[in-house]
């Protein structure tokens, strides 16, 4: 069931954001269980998408190898972030400890579009396009 969800999310990502994605694949655990969807981007960074049947999720843009930053929206109810207005939803914006409100959709099928729209905008701000790599 999770594998099918990741394939559906992959399809949405490639159809709507194919201009910023170079490669996509599902990562499996040693036991063969689908763990997350990985999207490799045009700037050599990647996005990992994790979701559960229970409604937990994480949209994580890993940039530390290129720009020394992260950008992640998730709904893990960390007590440390309970003062964030959208708790348990929150966003790690640039660094693990820099946390702000998260307004992306709760449903993964909509949240992926919200998240990748922001990623695309930030790539454009940094003058990174599919032809500049």
Look at residue 69 in the predicted model and tell me its pLDDT: 85
The fraction of the chain above a pLDDT of 70, given in percent, is 96
Per-residue CA distances from 95 to 14, 47, 70, 92, 99 (Å): 27, 15, 6, 6, 8
- CB of 61 closer than 8 Å to CB of 72: yes
**Structure confidence at residue 128 as a pLDDT band (50, 70, 90):** confident
Judged against a pLDDT cut of 90, whether residue 11 lies above it is answered with: yes
* Number of Cα atoms under 13 Å in the Cβ half of residue 97: 0
- Per-chain mean pLDDT for the chain: 92
Q: What is the mean pLDDT of residues 34-51?
A: 96
Q: Model-level pTM?
A: 0.91
User: What are the counts of helices (DSSP H) followed by strands (DSSP E) for the chain?
Assistant: 2, 7
């Amino acid at each position: 069931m999770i594998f099918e969800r990741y394939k559906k999310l992959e399809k949405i990502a490639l159809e709507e954001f194919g201009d910023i994605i170079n490669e996509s694949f599902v990562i499996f655990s040693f036991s063969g269980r689908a763990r997350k969807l990985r999207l490799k981007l045009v700037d050599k960074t990647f996005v990992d998408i994790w979701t559960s049947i229970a409604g937990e999720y994480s949209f994580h843009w890993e940039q530390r190898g290129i720009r020394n930053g992260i950008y992640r929206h998730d709904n893990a109810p960390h007590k440390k972030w309970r003062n964030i207005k959208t708790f348990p939803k929150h966003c790690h914006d640039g660094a693990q400890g820099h946390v702000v409100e998260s307004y992306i959709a709760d449903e993964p099928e909509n949240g992926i579009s919200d998240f990748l729209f922001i990623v695309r905008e930030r790539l454009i701000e940094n003058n990174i396009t599919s032809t500049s790599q």
